[in-house]
Chains A and B, each alone.
Chain A
Amino acid sequence: MGDFDNELFDVLKERPDKEPDKVFSNQMRQQLQKGQIVKRKRVSVATILTIPVTMAVLAFLIMICTGQTLDIKSAAQLSITQEKSLVFTGSLCILIALLTFIIFVFSKGYTKGWFIFLMFSLSFLAWVMNTVHAENQHLEEPTVPTNSKSFDHDQDQSLSLSDKEGR
């Protein structure tokens, strides 16, 4: 038993343990404590989002219960021309921003990484959004007869009929 204890003691003496870095651990502890204090002070995103959502739900419930309606829908709507020009300006700005970004990425000479991924995904997103918007526009637009000949022909016919009735 005594031999075994001696051997164990020798092994323990020779093991390559290092002294704990007290300075490092103290710094770490201080950082963690500071972090905890900051976390306590910080207002979380959930809190910021919860308050307006709760208020909106309460307002909605009150509106339904009292039978009130808010007639501000038409006030928020823009006239068709204004809306169109706004959409056009917005899309033009996005297009210019996207083109500038593409040129910036390639002029900098990036071959891989976050910028390349972002550029491809933004281009793809722009295409998808444009396709969806174009599809919606086609659905919203009423079918207008474009053949002027047929329109004139119909008009002529109606005119000739009215002339005959007059006679």
Chain B
Amino acid sequence: MKNPYDYLIGGFSFIYVDMSLYGETPDILPDFIGYAFFVYGLYLLPVVHNLKLWSEIFAFILMVMSFLVELDQWLGSMLLGQVSEQFIQFLLIVFMYCVFQLLLHVHEQKQLEIKTFETYQKFMALMLCGFVIQAFAMNVGASLRENMLFIGAMLQLMAYILFSIYCRAGSKYFKEMKKVHSLQ
């Protein structure tokens, strides 16, 4: 069985990292692929819960929305503009909240459950604080705006690192569980 945590961190990496050559070519790691990873990763999670289905649907909707935004950028029409990107960023935070709610239901191991909860607290706080700071950065002076955007980006980078560390721990746990099941 494939490891769902690898897909989750892969998906988040695709969403978080924007790579374009010299700032002119379109994003090499498009966000919609990241959401597709999320859909598959959530599908692989060993849990039976209503939230799983809802999260999958949510990820699918985000995938379609981000595809439209990317398409808009590729074509250069810029009909949706910067606002749509920020709106999707907010939806991503809400989506990650749903994912964490689901992850809190997955584990039977106490240690990993505690880790999930701690990561949830820090990750969500950092992501939301980053988003709010970036939202307020729109209406300040140019010099202060750059600083605020930088702080927001740093907070979200910290959230990304935290999530990757958590996924690594989850991946380890999943491999151990797989070994135990294969021995049985």
Contact = CB atoms under 8 A, between A and B. Distances in A.
Interface string A110-127: 011000100110011011
Contacts of B182: none
B90 A123 contact: yes
A131 B132 CA distance: 12
Contacts of B128: 102, 119, 123
Contacts of B90: 123-124, 127
Contacts of B83: 131
Nearest to B141: A88
- Would you call the interface of chain A mostly helix, strand, loop, or mixed? helix
Contact of A134 (B101, B125, B139): B139
A130 B139 contact: yes
Interface residues of A, number: 26
A123 B138 contact: no
A32 interface: no
Interface of A: 87-88, 91, 94-95, 98-99, 102-103, 106-107, 109, 111-112, 116, 119-120, 123-124, 126-127, 130-131, 133-134, 137
13 contacts: A91-B140, A98-B132, A102-B129, A106-B121, A106-B124, A106-B125, A120-B97, A123-B132, A123-B135, A126-B132, A130-B138, A131-B83, A131-B86
Given A94-B136, A130-B135, 18 more contacts: A91-B139, A95-B132, A99-B132, A99-B133, A102-B128, A102-B132, A103-B129, A106-B124, A107-B125, A111-B101, A111-B120, A123-B131, A123-B132, A127-B90, A131-B83, A131-B86, A131-B135, A131-B138
